[in-house]
Amino acid sequence: MSDLRPGPTNPAKVGPWGAVGDPAPSAARASTPARRVDGDENPGQNPVWALVSTALLAGLLWWLMGWVYALAGIVGLLVHEYGHVLAMNRLGMGPARIYIIPFLGGAAKGARGAASEWIGVLVSLAGPAFGLIAAIPFFAVWAVTGDPVWLQGAWFVALINLLNLAPAPPLDGSRALGPVLARVHPLLEKAALLGVGVLIVLWGLERGAYILAVFLALGVFSHLRRGAWRPDTAPLSWTQAGASLGLFLVTGAACAAVGLTAMALYTGDGLAAALTASGRFFGLAS
Ligand SMILES: [Zn+2]
């Protein structure tokens, strides 16, 4: 997940978790053309709280799914968020930082908002695209040890990034596809994102993924409450809208390909079996 709203404006802090004991220089603060949207000051996550949050998230995943999912969940989440951070820093939103949310996941937050919707799309897709890198060590350990449990880790990394591409607020997919739909018609974005959000919440309840369902329900609810649907930035041109859609589809295909590769190697039974196994997970096959 990425948060395109601006955080604090402090160029002296650079790390994704922020530097410690580094008071904001007021001159630098004043010289930065910060675009404050909601006015929340956010000095970066307290390192202790970040560790506690990470431990809580890992503990929950371990308890629910096993150790390899806990490991893949944390590594996958951090690499995913770091992808957002790299993009934010590169595209004028930095310095960005990672926040770990207990039991739920994480978010990357830049010091400034995206200067245009196009930048917002690129930052949103950077998480899932870069996040796939986290699958490499799991494939590598499987290749060395031959233990298929590591393929489950690689599969989970792909799944995390694929799920984040779901076009439901507050997931990355809604920030990547939303501006494209709004380019066609503002109401289309609203209707589509809320519709998909409701579907995913229902799917989460059906699958017993209650935490995911509550998380997404809160996201959908906050979007319903929010008055200004679109941030006040340069909208996508038609070319950028086409490029956004293309990048979204390519990123989604890459996530699916990594996940299906891991699943096919795990079942040892080819692509068809991998598709069936994945479909079973999503409740689409029995
Ligand atoms: Zn993300």
Q: What is the dihedral of CA 251, 252, 253, 255, to 10 degrees?
A: 90
Exposure of 126 by Cβ count < 10 A (0-12 exposed, 13-18 middle, 19+ buried)? buried
Looking at the domain assignment, is residue 24 inside a domain?
no
What pLDDT, on a 0 to 100 scale, did the predictor assign at position 99? 86
Residue 54 in domain: yes
In three-state secondary structure terms, 110 is strand
182 within domain boundaries: yes
Position 34 scores a pLDDT of 39
pLDDT at residue 43 in the model: 63
Cα torsion 24, 28, 31, 32: sign: negative
Give the distance (Å) from ligand 1 centre to CA of residue 176.
10
- Predicted confidence at residue 29, as pLDDT, reads 34
Of 206, 177, 3, 190, which Cα lies nearest the Cα of 87? 3
Interatomic CA distance for residues 276 and 286, integer angstroms: 8
How many independent structural domains does the chain possess? 1
Ligand 1: distance of its center to the CA of 26 in Å? 31
User: Given this model, what pLDDT does residue 180 score?
Assistant: 93
Ligand 1 centre to CA of 131 (Å) is 9
The secondary element (H helix, E strand) that includes residue 142 is helix 135-145
Query: Ligand 1 mean position to 81 CA, how many Å?
Result: 6
Where the chain has pLDDT below 70, the residues are 1-43, 223-231, 283-286
- pLDDT score of 31: 34
The answer to the question of residue 104 being in a domain is yes
Q: Ligand 1 centre from 146 Cα, in Å?
A: 31
Task: Give 271 Cα–ligand 1 centroid separation in angstroms.
Answer: 28
Q: Is 31 part of a structural domain of the chain? A: no
Nearest to 25 by CA among 14, 8, 11, 45: 11
Which domain range does residue 238 map to?
2-11+41-281
Ligand 1 centroid to residue 231 C-alpha, Å: 18
CA of 107 to the centre of ligand 1 (A): 7
Query: Residue 57 domain-assigned?
Result: yes
Compute the distance from residue 284 Cα to the ligand 1 centre, in Å. 25
Closest CA to 82 of 103, 97, 100: 97
Residue 30, in any domain of the structure? no
Query: How many Å lie between the centroid of ligand 1 and the Cα of residue 80?
Result: 6
DSSP 157-199: HHHHHHHHTSSSTTSHHHHHHHHHHHHH-HHHHHHHHHHHHHH
Domain membership of residue 213 (yes or no) is: yes
d(CA 29, ligand 1 centre) in Å: 27
